Structure 1
Amino acid sequence: MMAVPLMDEALKAELRALYRRADRHYHGLGHIDELLRLAGDHRAALADPEAVEAAIWFHDAIYDSRRNDNEEKSAALAADRLADRTDAQRLRRITDMIEATARHVVPDIADEAARGDAALFLDMDLAILGAQAEIFDAYERAIRLEYAWVDDTAWRAGRGAVLRSFLSRPRIFHTELFRQSHEARARDNLSRSLAALAIREA
């Protein structure tokens, strides 16, 4: 008897429908496709690439910019849909990765290889911060659209706090791979975006 795959086409179709919602200006299929591309590029560095793929598919499945429990709800959806497809320990690693996207801190997973997968997954999720300036700027505009219900004053304060929180970290990225390739540009992008917020405020 063949093992049930973690992610089959029926499950992907269910998730694609969620990512195609009209309010998904950034957290949509384009983001998922980019993460799957990155996971493919770095597949050799992953101990469990299928688990990382599942985390990618589910990590923004539930997304409402007015709520602060999206990651928890996305992890719960993954736990429900994947419960009969893998063992409990592996499923917990997947849900830990999903929940870790709330603060982008590597979860406390005992297994070193699984921690490495989580670190690389989180870095791939933040790769947009270290993208070329025009791509990062398009990302910032898309995030603003997802928070269109927030007035400009509150947006500048809230978004500014998020950008400063990343800049205040000793390292934005967890892996040496992404620190080498993305860290410097991410700091440039974040600083430039903060300056733009301040100009609009003035």
Structure 2
Amino acid sequence: MENEPLIDEALKRELTALYGAGDRHYHDLSHVEAMLALAGECRRLLHDPDAVEAAIWFHDAIYDSRAKDNEAKSAALAEQKLSGRVSSERLSRIVAMIDATATHQLPQLDDEKATSDAALFLDMDLAILGAEPGAFDAYEKAVRREYGWVEEPMWRAGRAAVLKSFLARPHIFHTAEFQRRFEAQARKNVQRSLAALEAG
């Protein structure tokens, strides 16, 4: 059971179809692939790379910009699809990682190694904030398109609140690795985006 890949080819095909939905402009397969590439770069730091890879594949599987429970639904899908392929303890860690993307706060896990993996996973999800300015701007435009139904004043207020919440943290990223690589650029990008939103 534990030796088989958590995400086999059939599951990849199924998830790829979900990520290919027409209303996705950022939360699509390229976001998953970017996170998988970061997981590859950080493999030496991960205690259970396969569990992190499974969390990456599932974390945005359900995505509706009008809904408030995407993370919970994505976690439930992971639970359903991975049940029987993985120990219940490992599955609960994967589910906790996915659920944590709702707030980007570290989940309460009773295991130091699992907490470390969750921190790296959450940082991979936010790495785009620390991308070079052109890539960050493309990300911002793509997210705006996903929320195309939101009126501009509402969008500006809502998005500004999200960005301010990141800036208010002592660190945007949980891990030393991502702070070193992305923190300074992420703060510049987010401040620039916030200034543009507030300027209207």
TM above 0.5, yes or no, is yes
Map 1:39-78 to 2 at 5 A: 39-78=39-78
Partner of 2:34: 34
Partner of 1:182: 182
Structure 1 letter corresponding to 2:192:
R
Which secondary structure does the structure 2 equivalent of 1:66 belong to?
A: coil
Partner of 1:129: 129
Cα offsets for 1:29-60 (capped at 9, x unmatched): 01000000000111111000000000000000
Q: Any gaps of 5 or more consecutive residues in structure 1?
A: none
Cα offsets for 1:123-176 (capped at 9, x unmatched): 010000000001000000000000000000100000010000101111110000
Are the counterparts in 1 of residues 7 and 54 from structure 2 also a CA contact under 8 Å? yes
Deviation at 1:94?
A: 0.1
Partner of 1:93: 93
Which secondary structure does the structure 2 equivalent of 1:126 belong to?
A: helix
Cα offsets for 1:46-86 (capped at 9, x unmatched): 00000000000000000000011000000000000000100
Q: 2:93 matched to 1:110?
A: no
User: TM-score, with normalisation over the residues of structure 2?
Assistant: 0.98
Deviation at 1:2?
A: 8.6
Judging changes above 3 Å, is the alpha-carbon distance between structure 1 residues 4 and 149 closer, same or farther for their aligned structure 2 residues? same
Number of aligned residue pairs: give it. 200
Are the counterparts in 1 of residues 2 and 86 from structure 2 also a CA contact under 8 Å? no
Distance 2:76 2:16 in 1: 17
Partner of 2:195: 195
Regions of 4+ moved over 4 Å: none
Q: Any gaps of 5 or more consecutive residues in structure 2?
A: none
Deviation at 1:3?
A: 4.0
Distance 2:179 2:4 in 1: 36
Deviation at 1:4?
A: 3.3
Judging changes above 3 Å, is the alpha-carbon distance between structure 1 residues 50 and 146 closer, same or farther for their aligned structure 2 residues? same
Partner of 1:14: 14
Which secondary structure does the structure 2 equivalent of 1:61 belong to?
A: coil
Q: CA RMSD in A?
A: 1.1
User: TM-score, with normalisation over the residues of structure 1?
Assistant: 0.97
Which secondary structure does the structure 1 equivalent of 2:68 belong to?
A: coil
